[in-house]
Structure formats: C-alpha cells, structure tokens
Amino acid sequence: MNDSPVRVGLLGCGTVGSSLISLLQRQNTLIGARTGLDLVVTAVAVRDPGRARPAELADAVVTTDAASIVSDPDIDVIVEVMGGIEPARELLLAALRSGKPVVTANKALLAAHGAELFAAADAAGVDLLFEAAVAGGIPFIRPLRESLRGEPIRRVMGIMNGTTNYILTRMTEAGAQYGEALAEAQSLGYAEADPTADVEGLDAAAKISIVASLAFGVDLAGSMVDTEGISSITADDIAFATRNGFVIKLLAVAERFDTDHGDELSAAVHPVLVPIAHPLAAVRESFNAVFVEGDAVGELMFYGRGAGGDPTASAVLGDLIDAAVNLRSGAHGSIGGLGTPQLRPSEQASSAHYLSLVAVDRPGVLATIASVLGENGVSIASMAQSAADSELGGSLAEDEARLDFITHRVGRLELDATLAALRSLDAVRRVGSVIRVLVEEESES
C-alpha cells in the first residue's frame, strides 16, 4: 500500500464541511488502522474567506477559487458540500473528467443532472459517491447500489424529509395545527423561513428521483415526480387518522409494475395514512427512514438522521474512505447505464383513500353521498359522522356534519369522478382532505 497521504479538496465549508473536518481529525488513526490510508484535507474552497475556520485547517489552503482546487494535480479526491446546481455541476464534471473521484452531498444537483454526472464518472473510470444526498446519515445508497444489485425491487417508500416529519409528529402527538407545528419547527431550526421546498414535497421529490434511478436503473429526474405536500393537512385529519389506527406521513414512493409491454414505473411524493403497526409509523420527530420491498428479500427498512452536520458528515466520510480505498487499488464503482423510464400513466394509479366531507346535517344526506360513492364504484372500508358539537366538529357550522370515509382501493379516474359528483351535490358544502391510505397489498396485481 502506498503510504503517502490521500489529499482531499473540500468544496464548501459550512456545517457539513466543518463537521467532516473534525470527524476526520478524530477518526484518522482508526481509519489508518483499518485501511492503511492517511486522509488529509489540503485545500478548501469557501465563499467568505474572512469567516473563522476549524483549527484543523491550519495547514490547508483556503481559497474562494473552487476551480483551482479541482484543477490542482496535487489533489486526489474532491468532496463537494457547497450545494446548489451551478457552479457545483461544472466543478464536479471537471473533477471527474480529470480523473478525480468525487464525493457529493448535493441532492438537487443529482436530481437534475445525475445521469450526466454518472456518465462522466463512468467515462473517466472514477467513483461518484453520494450517500449523504439521500436520507443524510443513513447508509442506504450503498446497500441499494451494492447489496441489492441482484434483488427484484418492487417498491421503495421513504420518509425522506425531516422537517415535514417533525411537523406531522407534533400535529399527531401534541394535537397542534399545521401552522403552529410549522412555527415550532422554524423556531427549532428544523424548517427554513421559506419552508416551501420541504412542506410542498420538493426536497423529498429530488431524493426519491435519485433512489428510483438506482433501484430501477433508469434516468428519472426530480421533475418527473408527482408531488403533493402537507400544508393542507388539518388537525382534524390527524385526529381522524389516530382514532382509526393510522399515522399521517409524507411518503416519497417509487414503484415498479410488471406490464405486458415491460416495466412501468411511478414516482410520487404525497401524504399517506400509514397503519400504526407499520414500521414507518414509528419514525418520529425529524428522523428519516426508507422502506424497501423486494421479491426475494421481502421488507427492509433503513432508519436514522436525515440531516444535520454530524450525521451528514458521517455519510460523507464513509464515501470518502471508499473513494480513497478504490483510488489506491485502482477500482471504482459504477451504477451502470441508466435507461429511459417508462412512466406509469397517472390515470392508472389506484389506492385506498381517506376522504373528508362537510355536508348539510339533515336526514337522507348520508344515503345520498353513499349512493354517489357506490355508483362510481367506490367501496367503503369504514366511515364516521361527526356533528358540530363533537370532537372533530370544531370547524363546522351549526347545520353541518363532517363525514370521514376510508375507501377500499379505487382508481384515479373513478376517484376524480366521485369527487366531482360529490362537489356537485347541494348537500355537500365542501370536500376536505383526500389522502391516500397505505394498504398491505399496495402493489396491483
């Protein structure tokens, strides 16, 4: 084994970069004992050269010129934790083309330009590793890329955004309204001042697109993911779910369907009523988890911290060690070529659903509504009616009742027709939440 240090160029030195530097400092002896490697950060690109840096960087070049690090022949490996699309994309392409392995935590970049970067890595025969880009500290990408390479994966479902999981947990456990829980998440630093990317599901959509691309071997961009957030979920929806044995979670879901004309894929982010006994229901606060269903392996779940400086740095460090080991041995990983996904037409989607209606509280209304459901082929698994003076009736007028239904599996077209028919009824004041329900056999036959 070559005894010279592996020289690391770090692009970005915020929370994750600083955590990485101190973790590396602390663990370098152990890493040396296990791998024979001496990893040294020799150059760091920063935005603001005046800001205080970790003491461990004393001997490193600190520069605002990231391109100079990428082109420096004395740098062996590039670690990118700066975020954003550009200049990160140009910098990483340049690094890969010059034969430098790259470790990145940049989910937005991979969701938008993953295929281009993977192709550049394969063309150069170097590693492009990105464990930290999905589910933070959870070692999930490596098992998916390597351990499950031969597994017929049917579905991957994840709680991939800690902010929304924190908000939903507070709504469930403290009975908070959405706005209150969001404000609490913001005051704790779990949510940004502009929380759109989290609460509308965009962050989770970028992550599931990366996961779907790996799981199914296709180039599935973040923009192809059907995305729905949690901002319209009410405390009453949560209360109904709790009473009926469910927890509401924002799930990112990628699924494969065998069809006569080949595999069809779907990828979506949406709120789902998850049965309380399902392992994903136990994922609380800002934790993340990814649930995998395969034909041979059955059900798997990977759970941990989806964000934060130290957990993310842990994932980056694992990748960095791997890249350095491979660099010294001349090996490199590859995810293989990515095909073009055949997306499942959205009108073929089907699921059990939770529906909430506000109707006029008079005799015969339930019969009218139930017959609309029946005529549209929607079969009811359970229902509850609440008057204005009941626990779930807080937002109702005197003459209104709330009707909550859980349906059996219903197709998208039938559901849309049903909702239109319900809205056209005089007796229906408004249709509230319409949320998917996770059922044991979610896959269609």
Q: Of these, 75, 235, 317, 349, which contacts a second copy (CB under 8 A)?
A: 317
Window 151-190: contact mask with a second copy (x via CB under 8 A): xx--------------------------------------
Q: Which is nearer to a second copy, 14 or 308 (CB)?
A: 308
Spatial separation of the C-alpha atoms in residues 24 and 7, rounded to whole Å? 13
User: Any contact of residue 19 with a second copy (CB under 8 A)?
Assistant: yes
Contact in structure between 57 and 44 (CB atoms under 8 Å) = yes
Q: Which is nearer to a second copy, 226 or 264 (CB)?
A: 264
> Which is it for the CA torsion 262, 268, 273, 279, positive or negative?
positive
Q: Of these, 120, 148, 372, 437, which contacts a second copy (CB under 8 A)?
A: 148
* # chain residues binding a second copy, by CB under 8 A: 63
Residue burial 161-179, b: 16+ Cβ < 10 Å; e: rest: bbbbbbbbbbbbeeebebe
Q: Which is nearer to a second copy, 274 or 373 (CB)?
A: 274
End-to-end CA distance of the chain: 53
User: Any contact of residue 130 with a second copy (CB under 8 A)?
Assistant: no
> Which is it for the CA torsion 105, 109, 115, 118, positive or negative?
negative
Q: Of these, 55, 193, 277, 367, which contacts a second copy (CB under 8 A)?
A: 277
User: Any contact of residue 54 with a second copy (CB under 8 A)?
Assistant: no
Residue 19 corresponds to which amino acid?
S
User: Any contact of residue 427 with a second copy (CB under 8 A)?
Assistant: no
Residue reference for tokens 């965009």: 202
Q: Of these, 14, 83, 87, 217, which contacts a second copy (CB under 8 A)?
A: 217
Between 365-375 and 412-423, two packed helices, what is the crossing angle to 10 degrees?
150
Tell me the two tokens of residue 92.
């990483």
Which secondary-structure segment (H or E) carries 236?
helix 235-243
| Interaction residues for a second copy, span 319-348 (CB under 8 A) | 319-322, 326, 329-331, 335-337
Tell me the two tokens of residue 365.
């209304």
| Other CB atoms within 10 A of residue 238 CB | 25
- Each as own residue / partner, the long-range contacts of residues 115-120 (CB below 8 Å, 24 or more positions apart, any chain) are 115/213, 115/219, 115/338, 116/89, 117/89, 117/92, 117/93, 118/334, 118/335, 118/338, 120/92, 120/93, 120/96
DSSP characters over 31-51:
HHHHHS--EEEEEEE-S-TTS
Q: Which is nearer to a second copy, 15 or 234 (CB)?
A: 15
Active-site residue identified among 100, 107, 207, 249: 207
User: Any contact of residue 137 with a second copy (CB under 8 A)?
Assistant: yes
107 is catalytic: no
The distance of closest approach from Cβ of residue 248 to a second copy in the complex, given in angstroms and rounded to an integer, is: 17
User: Any contact of residue 314 with a second copy (CB under 8 A)?
Assistant: yes
Q: Which is nearer to a second copy, 66 or 252 (CB)?
A: 252
CA 218 to chain centre: 17
User: Any contact of residue 262 with a second copy (CB under 8 A)?
Assistant: no
Q: Of these, 3, 4, 30, 55, which contacts a second copy (CB under 8 A)?
A: 30
Q: Which stretch binds a second copy (CB under 8 A): 90-98, 133-141, 190-198, 251-259?
A: 133-141
| Interaction residues for a second copy, span 279-308 (CB under 8 A) | 279, 281-284, 287, 289, 294-305, 308
Q: Of these, 210, 274, 313, 373, which contacts a second copy (CB under 8 A)?
A: 313
Query: What is the β-pairing status of strands 410-411 and 6-11?
Result: unpaired
Q: Of these, 2, 64, 147, 379, which contacts a second copy (CB under 8 A)?
A: 147
User: Any contact of residue 394 with a second copy (CB under 8 A)?
Assistant: no
Give the residue numbers marked as catalytic: 207
Residues that bind a second copy (CB under 8 A): 19, 23-24, 26-27, 30-31, 33-35, 131, 137-139, 142-143, 146-152, 217, 277, 279, 281-284, 287, 289, 294-305, 308, 310-311, 313-315, 317-322, 326, 329-331, 335-337
